[in-house]
Structure 1
């Protein structure tokens, strides 16, 4: 057995509980290398047998606490497991953590349902090519409004492993680009984060044309694409000879390619045309092509790049050496994301914030927190998006929020957020440590501390305690436009948020008929909600407007007349008042849910 420098056995100097305590601070690659160091670490961290190792790898891959999905760990919730961990162990109590890791990695696929507008579901009724007619809401018309049943999104996860046996062979795992670790929904799209750190967005627009928390009205980020196009047009001399004039009118050329030199009959209305020039927009188009990447096999899911990754933002010279510049640009990898109505926020593995926050923002803007942005001294612990603002929990600084930011200037690679710090939220230890927060509309930020005994609300520049008659200690909170979900160690509640505060009369206990099950996650769209139970079941309720299908319970007539769980509000809308289970064509386990606008999404494992 290996020994330490003092001659003591290493298992005495570093007993298993010490090694286990260190694992959260190591990368997956570091853990693997540590297992190869000596016999002691190999036995403790054996890739085929170590429950400790694979539980930690599972948590690192699928249990991130850096977004609003999960709370930070504190002494008040040390036994808290992420939703995915709880569901996987509840449904598969006899499986090893290695088996659970492979099941979550290889079999969890992205399903969406709801409004079809802007291809927000990641497909259209035509592009999917495999949609049963009964899944499509069209009210007997050719126009297709929505999808009423969960449908797997094509393209994601299609590259599956060939061998599903339980082993440590990396070929047995779906590749990192095809493994989804987080999903999030905005008002008009879904955002998807893969294990490789790539970020995608569905549909043709994430903003719906609405302004997010970007620059103030009348201010704009510097756009090098527009500048390049303007410079090309301004500096181009169309003819070296006499201007062309045919019939007394100068012809308009919109192709960017000058015409061939033609010998026309000499007359007062004709002139000699030039030889063809190189397409003046060729380089511009090349740069645009490099900034556009779709998911293989799906043109309705686009990879979201940031300015740091694109050469045009880094080099203003029109004749820059593209190949040389690109070699120096490192791809940005992300580990957490959060979506608001018309914007979304992502946190990179280098602890940097990037924002997509308006109709003019195609590539992520790096957000600078002036005076506090030091990823080593003040790392960002959690991110979250409200209806029209962004929020982050920063170490030793506290909760910060911003409704807008400074425009990006020419030559700069970042934008300064016009942030505010929520008072008395900077504690990093003890009972006052913030462990979770949730963002709703009207700049409402709710948060809980390590004691789990109080709910706090910051709104309109003031912080106050919210007293509610709930059972148990608060462990986790989730918020959206006008709904706050409260999870205690005993129960789950929802309450409505209006006019900068909560409507106490709207407090509702959320329970599942199965006494052995409970709600552990909840998300809401504009008028509907989706919840996830500890055994991986999906429940939805609320208003399904204009045949959008956002509840996922099937055709309207089936919901109202066959299942008797809803009522018609008019001939194009139904309302379901009680949480109702979403049923699929086979048994399933859901490990993540999200709702936004008029659509819903989930990561679902179909059972064989």
Structure 2
């Protein structure tokens, strides 16, 4: 066949759907398939295209979500269910720092547990500010929820996404925060810019943006939770016990802590051409921004992930941004991986406890553990780029099925042998190193998780394979293609790291109630877990500390009395021994959960009520 006769129709449906679509965003896919009648017919009659749209739009290929055969939904129906604008965000758990996104006085009081020094929420409760918006994703870190809207707007709940009274930590800069002008310089810049543009002003405490809402004034952050996330535990209390190296103490001035998130006034030549949001910012709802400048004006965030005190985001042009302990405003820092082609396609991003990682096509699994701080010169010219210190894990180039990031470790499933591996790194030590890291050292830092690999080999089920991972701190989840869920802990991580063969290895934890239950995703908090099923139901189990409500099973006393064999009272805490259903947000009105989030002592999700 002559190449002169080739056209789009000659490519065939399989190539158009499965190959061409791989390199397009969800919006570009829709635009492509309405170019002519032939393409439009493929779009309307192909369920495969809706599967691709779903994975790109609502998971950004974080995992290849597949339909359960027992469901009545096909891919087209599932896509439209997830895109239903009647969806709403619900949060519950510990309220400290405003992380739930609302005041107790403005919600159903039957959802609230009063306690000494505060309150918590034991039943999923709506953040009404986001109603009537299409929500692409929700994530949770140690101190807030991070919410991504369909239009690319990125929001967080609470006073801050980090602890303003504490110092620097990986994967942010470890020696010095990003530059921020002192209050006098900011005042002068404000006066100069007001003279040029009366519509631009500094009022408030958040970030650079076009026009702040009226009547909004700065407030000092209330003391947030130390330790892992709680007031009572020491920040380093878990570090030695779990084999994680804590960062050395750093000092911050009172000015640093009190003003850590005040809005920074740009230099006079600021380009703040961001569209005003329809959602009103409050003391507990704030917007995060991409850097100012024309080069960022048309970029859109498509995927988000979080660590303990940091947030990472991927835009539709394959750029990664971070908001971490080094940030002094709500403007993201554009991460630069020196010596990696800027044209390389980033297929997935994951934030871990004190690390971040991404999978890059034709490069491999990239793990970064610190970045350079923003200098005064960069701030003056509005150059919000930062060079990351990173490593590329050997033998991971186009060879990773999935990966997860925790505290000083990365887990990944290798395509070539379908085995689970652990890469162990002392993030703080590597952040301070100046000498290069070679492949031989990285190989020594990588070991197979034989406890889990041997379990897989021992199964009688044919063609069993690991498919997906999830991790938080030192806990992790492994999924298989036969709807099996394996749970791991620090014992498994440290045993695989050690050379000691004299003791019996801890076996993967298997919770019978989770096996063959069509589990779509699992989220992990400090001591609790959430599981979302393909049918849209939500399960929770684990420990609820100090009646914080993170399990979402209703009032403490009622949960214990109604489920005496499942809910156990442990002093000020309760423990749910086996997974049980989270309370419905609408009582007897039915609906489906479509996304979930958990961290620390708080939980959240996106719910679509039945019409």
- For the superposition of Structure 1 and Structure 2, which TM-score range results when normalised by the shorter chain? 0.7 to 0.9
The 5-angstrom pairing of residues 327-346 of structure 1 reads: 330-346=297-313
**TM-score normalised to the size of structure 2?**
0.73
Paired residues of 1:295 and 1:301 also in contact (CA < 8 A): no
* Structure 1 residues 279 and 436, CA gap change in structure 2 (3 angstroms): closer
Q: Show the counterpart of 1:362.
A: 330
Q: Show the counterpart of 1:20.
A: 17
Between structure 1 and structure 2, the one with the greater Rg is 1
- CA deviation after TM superposition for structure 1 residue 589, in Å: 1.7
Give the unaligned 5+ runs of structure 1: 72-80, 160-177, 237-256, 258-276, 315-326
The 5-angstrom pairing of residues 72-471 of structure 1 reads: 81-82=64-65, 86=67, 91-93=71-73, 97-106=75-84, 107-126=86-105, 129-131=106-108, 133-139=109-115, 144-156=118-130, 158-159=131-132, 178-209=133-164, 210=166, 211-213=168-170, 215-224=172-181, 226=183, 228-229=185-186, 231=188, 283-285=201-203, 288=208, 290=210, 296-297=279-280, 299=282, 300-306=284-290, 308-309=291-292, 330-358=297-325, 360-372=328-340, 374-376=341-343, 378-409=344-375, 410-411=377-378, 412-425=383-396, 427-428=397-398, 433-441=399-407, 443-451=408-416, 453-460=418-425, 462-467=445-450, 468=452, 469-470=455-456, 471=459
* Structure 1 residues 33 and 532, CA gap change in structure 2 (3 angstroms): closer
Q: Show the counterpart of 2:38.
A: 40
Find the aligned partners of 2:122 and 2:492 in 1 and give their Cα distance: 33
Give the unaligned 5+ runs of structure 2: 214-276, 426-441, 497-504
* Structure 1 residues 38 and 500, CA gap change in structure 2 (3 angstroms): closer
Find the aligned partners of 1:196 and 1:356 in 2 and give their Cα distance: 20
- CA deviation after TM superposition for structure 1 residue 414, in Å: 0.8
Is the partner of 1:41 in helix, strand or coil? helix
Q: Show the counterpart of 1:580.
A: 580
Paired residues of 2:112 and 2:122 also in contact (CA < 8 A): yes
Paired residues of 1:512 and 1:519 also in contact (CA < 8 A): no
Q: Show the counterpart of 2:557.
A: 557
In the alignment, does 2:486 pair up with 1:477? no
- CA deviation after TM superposition for structure 1 residue 369, in Å: 0.9
Paired residues of 1:180 and 1:195 also in contact (CA < 8 A): yes
Find the aligned partners of 2:170 and 2:8 in 1 and give their Cα distance: 53
Paired residues of 1:125 and 1:144 also in contact (CA < 8 A): no
- CA deviation after TM superposition for structure 1 residue 328, in Å: 7.4
**TM-score normalised to the size of structure 1?**
0.73
Find the aligned partners of 1:231 and 1:203 in 2 and give their Cα distance: 30
Deviations 1:356-386 (A, max 9, x none): 01163432111111121x231x332221111
Paired residues of 1:203 and 1:301 also in contact (CA < 8 A): yes
Work out the number of aligned pairs and report it: 494
Paired residues of 1:305 and 1:364 also in contact (CA < 8 A): yes
Paired residues of 2:107 and 2:125 also in contact (CA < 8 A): no
Deviations 1:465-521 (A, max 9, x none): 1112244210111111121100011211101025953585262113337x8623232
